């Protein structure tokens, strides 16, 4: 039987496959290092807990949430926390990241007055 060129498997990966495999390994290794520092589960409840723990001591920007807490869409988690009754204030600021100016949210957990 004749196999078409697409059916034949090469023992050498293509450049795209090799690049993907290398990137996957780098991301996996980086995530392992991050997981050793703290629990970086992608579970939404874990993400909300990480945000609340951070906000208990200081304000949090969307950039910090992404880079330091490994939360890719912090606005959703903050909105969920607000819906649960947490008093979180959002302050908008323009930040120059070196690649351009971006409008970034800064979140602050307000304490209840007794």
Spatial separation of the C-alpha atoms in residues 109 and 42, rounded to whole Å? 22
- pLDDT per position as a tens digit, 1-30: 555 544 555 455 554 444 444 444 444 444
Do both 97 and 50 map to the same domain? yes
6 assigned to some structural domain: no
Q: If you count them, how many residues does the chain have? A: 114
Do both 88 and 50 map to the same domain? yes
Gyration radius from the chain CA atoms: 21
pTM flag (> 0.75)? no
- The answer to whether the Cα torsion of 77, 82, 83, 84 is positive or negative is positive
Do both 88 and 105 map to the same domain? yes
Q: Are 78 and 51 in contact (CB under 8 A)?
A: yes
Residue of 2, 24, 3, 4 whose CA lies nearest to 13: 24
Which pLDDT score, from 0 to 100, does residue 40 have?
A: 72
């Amino acid at each position: 039987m004749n196999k078409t060129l697409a059916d034949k498997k090469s023992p050498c990966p293509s450049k795209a496959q090799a690049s993907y495999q290398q990137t996957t390994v780098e991301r996996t290794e980086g995530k392992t290092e991050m997981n050793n520092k703290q629990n970086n589960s992608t579970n939404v409840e874990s993400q909300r807990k990480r945000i609340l723990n951070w906000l208990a001591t200081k304000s949090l920007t969307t950039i910090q949430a992404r880079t330091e807490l490994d939360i890719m869409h912090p606005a959703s988690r903050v909105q969920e926390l607000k819906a649960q009754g947490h008093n979180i204030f959002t302050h908008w600021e323009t930040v120059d990241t070196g690649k351009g100016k971006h409008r970034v949210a800064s979140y602050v957990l307000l304490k209840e007055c007794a």
